[in-house]
Amino acid sequence: MSFPHSWFPGFLIKMSIASKEAREVNYWLRLLRDSGLIKDKSFYDEVVDAIDESDQLKRILTKIVKTSQENE
């Protein structure tokens, strides 16, 4: 399947940027979790949940980019 649409290159660029940003957010959240700076259990739990969500987004966006590149 190919994408002859003129919007496709812009879409792929935006998805690549979003994937990179999701990886970076995931990195910083893991760094915060592992730093030992969080003393509040509730906040720690929120950070752990955010890590899980950012990991899911990272995998989804990476899959979109890879699949789009294969179908270019």
DSSP 3: -
Q: Which of 71, 72, 65, 52 shows the shortest CA–CA distance to 15?
A: 65
Note the pTM of the prediction, 2 decimals: 0.79
Q: 30 versus 5: which is more confidently predicted?
A: 30
pLDDT digits (tens, 9 = 90+) for 27-40: 999 999 999 999 99
User: Which helix (H) or strand (E) element contains residue 34?
Assistant: helix 8-35
* Domain locations along the chain: 17-70
The structure tokens listed for 34 are 């592992």
Angle between helices 8-35 and 41-70 (to 10 degrees): 150
Q: Cα separation of 43 and 37, whole Å?
A: 11
